[in-house]
Amino acid sequence: MLLLPFAYIVIFAYIPMSGLVLAFKNYTYAGGIWGSDWAGLTNFRFFFISGAARSVIPMTLAYNLAFITVGMFVQVSFAIILNEVIGKVFKRVTQSMMLLPHFISWVVVSALVYNILNFEFGVLNNVRAGIGLADVNVYGMVGLWPFIMVFLSVWKGAGYGTIIYLANITSIDPQIFEAAQIDGANAWQQIRRITLPHLKPTMIILFLLAMGNMFRGGLDMFFQIIGNNGMLLPRADVIDAYVFRLLTSSADIGMAAAAGLFQSVLGFITVLTANFIVKKIEPDYSLF
């Protein structure tokens, strides 16, 4: 049973790692991967000298921290609220509606966002015009877009995460809650003293797993929503989108590979650091 997953990981994860050598080469199509001249650390040096590293690295870190923390808070909150709901039909319908955005492509989401926020024919300005308010150019309000991106990320992932935490809550022994009720504990006290402590291991494990993507991911989201909008890039850009634009605009494969390798190293260090901190605080909850 493990043969196919193992083969998948080897073929699509480990074998392609040989291409990391491109980060240290001046790639040419004539020479190919192995025939191109060595460039040493030139590609990395350009990545930092150009100023791209100083902008996209902190921005990537800030966005992913916001995605993880706000997303986890919303998911845990919704899971606890749904667990307190008595009506089974309402609970199932709500779960299905919350899970639906998880299966919607970012291409579709970007189309929805554009048709809502577009200055000329967007739904938002049509509604504002109908109630006598002036039109607003949301795509020109740069400071608003970090909140929009965090909202979209949380909206899309809230349903899937809620199901994970809700399954954890339902696995708690009901006799613990019954004993708490007999002792006079109200609903909030049961959540604080029973539900949240039982969710703690799952929250820590999911947080550690998410830390692996702290400097990775977001290409589909940022490229579809933001695209090449130069006005929004200073406040809404990540390393993945930067590397993709670098490849499509300049075809500098060596520098793109250098940025991608540096991104992977940052992610690896982040996971080790987070796991080290968790191991010092709660050894039983660490990954290794």
pLDDT for residue 90 is more than 80? yes
User: Which range in 14-18, 71-75, 140-144, 247-251 is most confidently predicted, on average pLDDT?
Assistant: 71-75
For residue 152, is pLDDT > 90? yes
- State the pLDDT confidence band at 227, using cuts at 50, 70 and 90: confident
Q: What is the pLDDT confidence band of residue 281, given thresholds at 50, 70 and 90?
A: confident
Q: State the pLDDT at residue 263.
A: 83
Dist. CA 263–CA 59, nearest whole Å:
13
Mean pLDDT within 49-65: 85
Nearest-10 Cα torsion for 209, 212, 213, 216: -170
| pLDDT value for 79 | 93
- State the average pLDDT over residues 68-97: 90
Question: How many whole angstroms separate alpha carbon 241 and alpha carbon 154?
Answer: 19
- The 10s digit of each residue's pLDDT in 116-132 is 999 888 999 999 999 99
Q: Which residues of 78-110 are buried (b: 16+ CB within 10 A; e: fewer)?
A: bbbebbeeeeeeebeebbeebeebeeeebeebb
What is the spatial distance between Cα 76 and Cα 82, in angstroms, rounded to a whole number?
A: 10
Q: Is the pLDDT of residue 278 over 90?
A: no
In the chain, the percentage of residues whose pLDDT exceeds 70 is: 99
| Band of pLDDT at residue 249, cut at 50, 70 and 90 | confident
Distance CA 52, CA 102 (A): 31
DSSP string, the chain: --HHHHHHHIIIIIGGGGGGGGGGEE--TTTHHHHSEE-TTHHHHHHHHTSHHHHHHHHHHHHHHHHHHHHHHHHHHHHHHHHH---HHHHHHHHHHHHGGGGS-HHHHHHHHHHHH-TTT-HHHHHHHHTTPPP--GGG-GGGHHHHHHHHHHHHHHHHHHHHHHHHHHTS-HHHHHHHHHTT--HHHHIIIIIHHHHHHHHHHHHHHHHTTTTS--HHHHHHHTTT-TTTTTTS--HHHHHHHHHHHH--HHHHHHHHHHHHHHHHHHHHHHHHHHHHH-GGG---
Burial label, 250 (beta-carbon count in 10 A; 0-12, 13-18, 19+): exposed
Whole-angstrom distance, CA of residue 204 vs CA of residue 282: 10
Q: Which pLDDT tens digit goes with each residue over 3-46? A: 999 999 999 989 988 888 989 998 888 888 888 899 888 888 88
pLDDT of amino acid 91? 86
Q: What is the mean pLDDT of the chain?
A: 88
pLDDT-based confidence at 205, cuts 50/70/90?
Answer: confident
Question: Does position 190 have pLDDT exceeding 90, yes or no?
Answer: yes
Q: What average pLDDT score do residues 122-144 get?
A: 91
Confidence band (pLDDT; 50, 70, 90) for 209? Answer: confident
Mean pLDDT of 234-250: 83
Q: pLDDT exceeding 90 applies to what percent of the chain?
A: 45
